Chain A
Amino acid sequence: MVREETEFVNWEAVIGLEVHIELSTKSKMFCGCSTDYFTAKPNTHTCPVCLGLPGAMPKANKLAIKYTQLIGLALNCKTRTGSKFDRKNYFYPDLAKGFQISQYDLPFSENGHMFITTNGRTKKIGITRAHLEEDTGKLIHTKLNGTRLTLVDFNRSGVPLIEIVTEPDISSSLEAKTYARNLQQVVRYLKVSDADMEKGSMRIEPNVSLRKVTKGQESMVKELPPYKVELKNINSFKFAEKAIEYEIKRQRKILESGKMPKQETRGWNETKQETVSQRSKEEAHDYRYFPEPDLPPFAFEEKYFKSISEEIPELPDEKRKRFTKDYSLAENDARTLTEGVELAKFFEEAAGAYKKDPKIVANWITGEVLRRLNEENKTISDSPLLPASLAELLFLIDKGEITKANGKEILANMIKTGDDPRATVIKLKVTGISDIKLEEIVIQTISRNPKAIEDYKKGKEASLMFLIGQVQRITKGQAKPEKVREFVLRKLSEAD
């Protein structure tokens, strides 16, 4: 036997992501209870089905299935014509029936992909599957009269949950974060979930391991490491990034000492800024999957997939490309404007109304509009500002009726009130005349009142007030007094 000389190059992270997203259907996955549990009193959105009472049976939510297929189609998946639900059997006090209805070997969608761009490099991330299941109840650990108790709230029990699993194609925390953000964006574009990490309607579980890369093999098909660490307890993109980074360092240390990291589940501890072991392989479940006998298998026709695929809107990637092309926007601006479907729509409507250079509209939105909204922690949908009003504001600036600086002030008010720009100008008494015009008036006023200038130079403050009053009279009070004062002073000093 001969062996090729191999030269160690580096450790490479091998990351796969499991993302759970709660679908925003009105009713639960297998019963008619409301899914709007977020602020509801515990155990008020329940019925025999989601409480798992004896004899109760599930009835599948058609819309949730459609949402799963839409997500599948949006992620370039193959949608199955034949599919079914399975039972995943395990014990946990938040699981009412002692099993979760999920999907095992025939998920609604599988074999898809998504492109992500990090540091200017585009990469294809394989999507293994997107399947539908039901959410569990929630345990609340508390203390009552000095006794530690665990309470169960079944309001969340049975809320439709989609699980999207990637291939182990991700190799950095940045890629993982980018993928998760893109996925969130797609799901929001499809309007199938609010995918809110903080509220728990989107949950990320990365699995991380490291493999050795040797020289000359960097681009070859590589074997998977013989172990894998699953990370849980992650409720923000930032935590995901930090947990993955921590894990890469931790595993690297173990590997470099010649040992093999344990196959286990670890949770992110934000206070300690580290991952903590939760469950090892030996304790892993055998879920004893089998077809859910209470739900007959599904058969879908290609015709059906064709008709639902027509409901898929333009997705973020396409929209961004179109924005850079059709509106000649910079890549960055296009990315910002396509972040959410509402903002993109706002831009397109404003640009359509404005009719002139859309880049100006883009600059105003990515600059002033977003800055003001961010200050108040709002999104464009929270503001009554109309796209046509923004366009009109830009017109007024172009015509010189208001200055750009004043325009910003007017815009800030419009974002709050939704009033149109002309009404706002009058209401705020910001100058109805542009700086150019005001300057003109000031120059005229000064030239017509040489006496007052003489007096002023002699130190008569009253002359200054006289001149300001004259300007105000001509502008019919539309100019702000401080501004008039500033202009008059500047002209006076220039007149020296």
Chain B
Amino acid sequence: MAQVTLIEALTMAMAHEMAKDPSVVVLGEDVGVNGGVFRATVGLSDKFGPLRVLDTPLDETTIAGIAVGMAAQGMKPIAEAQFDGFVYPMVDHIVCHAARFRTRTRGRLTCPLVLRVPWGGGIRAPEHHSEANESTFTNVPGLRVVMPSSPSRAYGLLLAAIRDPDPVIFFEPKRIYRQYKEEVADDGEALPLDVCFVLRDGSDVTLVTWGAQVKEALEAADALAKDGISAEVIDVATLKPLDFDTIHESVKKTGRCVIVHEAPRTAGFGAEVAARLAEHAMYDLVAPVERVTGYDTHIPLFRLEMKYLPSVERIVAAAKRTLAAS
């Protein structure tokens, strides 16, 4: 088994599936000879050639539109958006077409594409390179919105996304692309979509998060443990469709919930989790739900960005507030 980073796990998954299934193709800006600006597609062009690892013109509309057309005609395109902030010209094709082909043709045409989106802040990048825009897509019927938080989940979830018969927006937390290595077997075993992963058992408070913030949530749980507080940590992994049952089961046990995400607070995906708790778990809760999120501002340029992103300190404080409340 190889020790790989999250981004190496992604490359491994794509290479595995491309070798197995000739309909799988990769397309985007700089994905070919250059291997992607983050090197996610490194080596794929040599292995599979320039038609299956396609450097497109510098136009996100082209990438999304071509991917939709290819997917409807029997290919499995993995399109790369290069950066989160460049996804907006793609939205028309994803929302109006990829997400709807199955419904509007009653299953005659489908759109099994994966849109890979390097996501989020914290890498000292220029403007428009640090967006947490997952809720742009979580309100769209027909899409799956997936975000891994470790090398093994990156491998297993990307395989599942490629094999899924419906369009998947696959957000990649670039802050943890190379944060640590993990043993990942290149065995072609996918992980299930549409389920949350409970990463740490606890009994006092539930920390619900996804993507890069999983790291801060686990560190917060460690810090809380030192104060005798037992925190359960849930990686949502598939935001849409949401596995609320796993969150609910946890909250039945802990009675407290802190939702952590990097995106702005208002109408961020945490609002959906909180609404579900209000609908289904009101009597299980012993304290108000807390949200630790990005602020309703634009993520600042990098001198201030770490003040914007949820920190271990903010998560610990929120968890303690839920304990103080009851």
Is chain B found bound to chain A in the same assembly?
no
